[in-house]
Amino acid sequence: MSNRLSSAVLAAVLVFCASQQVGLAQRQVPAPAGPAVGGAEVPGGRAARKADPVEQYQTAECVLVGVLQEAKAGPVASSMPPIYTYRLTIEVGEVLRGDVEAGKTIPATYSARQVQAPVLPVGRKCIIVAETAREGGLHAVSILEATDEALKLARAAASLPLGWSQAGGKAVSPWAAMGERAWPKDSPIAAAPGQAVCSTTGRPALMCGKGVKLTVEAVPPAKAIQWTNPDGDGLYTVTVENTAGKAVQVPALLADEKGVILWDESLAIVCQGTARPVPAAKGVSGKIKPATLEPGQRVSCTVNALAMDNVEWPRGGYRVAFRFCLGELSVTKSFYYMSRHHDAIRDASRANVPPK
């Protein structure tokens, strides 16, 4: 699209696009660097690098295989390089991960920050990595033509729980840094035939299964301050719901022998490309079992995302994405971090986290 936007429309487009991950076209396109203040990259932004498809599949909220029916060009932001935006129509043939129904035709958004307009593989079978946009709906993070080799990689990577990775052909869980404390050697929960196991801890690659829904909502702040904490002060309510109409066991959601859910030992968070246990995690011990949920039952906990360590927190005000993961399910939340307000809250949160 050659026409440039008015300043008001352009500002809106820039805000929208900055909240999205940069897409990939038929070839992989580097992700954008974080916005600059005073010539320095804003902490929390992603450094420009060539995207690794396998890494994307392993951390993706949604991985689809389908035909890209249409890519309708939208506004172009006059940044350098420009940001091209599109409205996609996707005929979904196979769902490798995510809460999308195969056989449906769905819409999605897409954006690419690069010098030349991307050439999208319209009419071809593609592997599409997507996530839930902050405004709702799906946003495509990458679009890659579905060759046999690419499909093989995508299926293998998507078979792992979210936040897991592969190193030297071996599966590694977000709890690997805990070593032996992460998983009991005599655990009654054993890996199923063909199921991956963390090469460091022995923890099986536990999934949620059908009929389980994960939702995450920000807890309203004790004091809302305009332009400062629109997404709260780092607390999130995580809810798991049984939608199956019958009682289900949820392997990824651990419970003790009395049925008390071990939230801290079940959830992981992906932030800035790194997966880690939730801050209060201590490692699994004692007798454990999969949590059982009755029909329609909802269970919840509160997670303090600001208590995470090894996160590059922004200076000034900028958005940080938190992806809450449970097995193959995840929800991404965009959090506006204002350093003059949230630094003190973060320090207090970290002080309350027991040492690992």
The domains located in the chain, with CATH, are 7-158 (2.40.50.120), 212-351 (2.60.40)
Q: What is the CB neighbour count within 10 angstroms for residue 125?
A: 16
User: What is the DSSP track for 263-329?
Assistant: GGGT-EEEETTEEEE-TT-----SSEEEEEE-TT-EEEEEEEGGG-SS--PPSSEEEEEEEEEETTE
User: Each residue's pLDDT tens digit in the chain (356 positions)?
Assistant: 444 334 343 334 333 343 433 333 333 333 332 222 222 222 333 333 356 777 788 778 899 999 999 999 999 999 999 999 999 999 999 999 888 999 999 999 999 999 999 999 999 999 999 988 877 899 999 999 999 999 998 988 888 999 898 888 889 999 999 998 999 988 889 888 888 999 999 999 999 998 999 999 999 999 999 999 999 999 999 999 999 999 999 999 999 999 999 999 999 999 998 999 999 999 999 899 999 999 999 999 999 999 999 999 999 999 999 999 999 998 989 999 999 999 999 999 988 776 65
Q: Residue 51 in contact with residue 142, Cβ under 8 Å?
A: yes
Q: What 3-state DSSP class applies to 94?
A: strand
Report the pLDDT value the prediction gives residue 192, as an integer from 0 to 100. Answer: 86
Burial of residue 180 (number of CB atoms within 10 Å: 0-12, 13-18, 19+): exposed
The residue count for the chain: 356
Distance CA 91, CA 192 (A): 33
Report the pLDDT value the prediction gives residue 9, as an integer from 0 to 100. Answer: 37
Distance CA 328, CA 22 (A): 23
> C-alpha angle 107/165/315, rounded to 5°?
75
Distance CA 165, CA 329 (A): 16
Distance CA 135, CA 355 (A): 37
Q: What is the pTM of this model?
A: 0.73
Report the pLDDT value the prediction gives residue 44, as an integer from 0 to 100. Answer: 32
Report the pLDDT value the prediction gives residue 1, as an integer from 0 to 100. Answer: 42
Distance CA 256, CA 187 (A): 12
Token couple for 127: 């592997």
